[in-house]
Amino acid sequence: MRTTLLDTSVIVALLDRDERYHGQCVEAVSDVVGPLATCEAVIAEACYLLRRIRGATEAVIRNVAGGVFQTPVRLADQAATVEKLIKKYRDVPMDLADACLVDLADRMNSGQILTLDGDFNVYRWRTRRKFRLLIDL
């Protein structure tokens, strides 16, 4: 089964029913077969953005603890690679979470991603491969 990468924007939309793309994200996640992989930076960013929605931060953490949102790579182990990616895409600009996801795509051999972030149309995994965005905006 192919791993699907999970970005902050989709986690936020899943847990914030008032978010414009909530329904679209719920549908997209329900269509995914296989594991959802993300990174520590995405989890931290999602928790921060959801901090005012009662129970949302706890739901994110429960999904990590339960293995629904897998975090297979530690930032500490990939810091040098992530730094190179941030420098490479400084004109976009690329944030920490996006850099970690691009690195994760390389490690998981999958460019399939759930995101609302159009920057993933610019980023490349394995140097030249385009990401496959599973949500059409």
Q: pLDDT by residue (tens digit) across 40-69?
A: 999 999 999 999 999 999 999 999 999 999
Query: Do 28 and 130 touch, CB atoms closer than 8 A?
Result: no
Against a cut of 0.85, is the pTM above it?
yes
One-letter amino acid for residue 135 of the chain: I
Q: What is the CATH number of the domain that holds 84?
A: 3.40.50.1010
Can you read off the two tokens belonging to residue 97? 């979470």
Domain range enclosing 32: 4-133
C-alpha distances in Å from residue 88, one per residue of 37, 75, 84, 92, 121? 23, 18, 6, 9, 15
Task: Kindly report, residue by residue over 68-123, the tens digit of the pLDDT.
Answer: 999 999 999 999 999 999 999 999 999 999 999 999 999 999 999 999 999 999 99
Count structural domains, the chain. Answer: 1
